[in-house]
Amino acid sequence: MLDNLSQYDIVLASASPRRQELLTQLDIPFRVMTLDGIDETYPDGLTPEGIARYISSHKAEAYRSNMTPQMLIITADTIVSINGEVLGKPRDEDDAVRMLHKLSGMTHQVVTGVTVATLQRKKTIDVTTHVTFSTLTEEEITHYVKTFHPLDKAGAYGIQEWIGMAAVENISGSYWNVMGLPVRQLYRLLKTF
């Protein structure tokens, strides 16, 4: 479909199985490359959108020394924000429980920054989805954390898992964005790249 990409060696710079699955469904040939130890800290004072964009762009820069002229890198970073507080990946199960208590009965924002880069060009976008959770009981939160171990997920949950079916009341925006890759917006970006 995207003939403009035929000249590129497309690389998804992410170990996330969800991002890999979503990009596969876009029917774009790609390979995966990951680097360990990329710094994901960000300057104070950024908005949630600014944080996602900053980290995604920073990840792309980390790959620059490994890039060839034919390579096109896709990086992404997803954060969860509620009432101005950014919820990253939980440190442990107790932290995951704390985060899910914050999200219970509330609407939060999921923001993904996506960067597409070659050695000559770089473009970063951000996409925000609003997600409303029903009120969760202590038993439901404990069940989810103990059964699904969401320690590798921003905000301590994966919408495609049990909690998405049992607790999500409303989504305004891209469901795929909440999974970690706003595929429609990425497709549009790749189409014009």
- Known active-site residue 77: yes
Q: Which of 9, 77, 94, 152 is labelled catalytic?
A: 77
3-state secondary structure 145-160: HHHHCCCCCHHHCCCC
Q: In whole angstroms, what is the distance from residue 100 CA to residue 49 CA?
A: 21
CA 130 to each of CA 58, 66, 162, 163, 172: distance values in angstroms, whole numbers, following the listed order: 25, 36, 19, 16, 5
**Residue 12: which residues within 8 A CB-CB, separation 6 or more?**
19, 20, 23, 30, 31, 32, 33, 74
The beta strands (E) that lie in 19-94 are given as 31-32, 71-82, 85-87
Taking alpha carbons only, the member of 184, 193, 181 closest to residue 6 is 193
Enzyme catalytic residues? 77
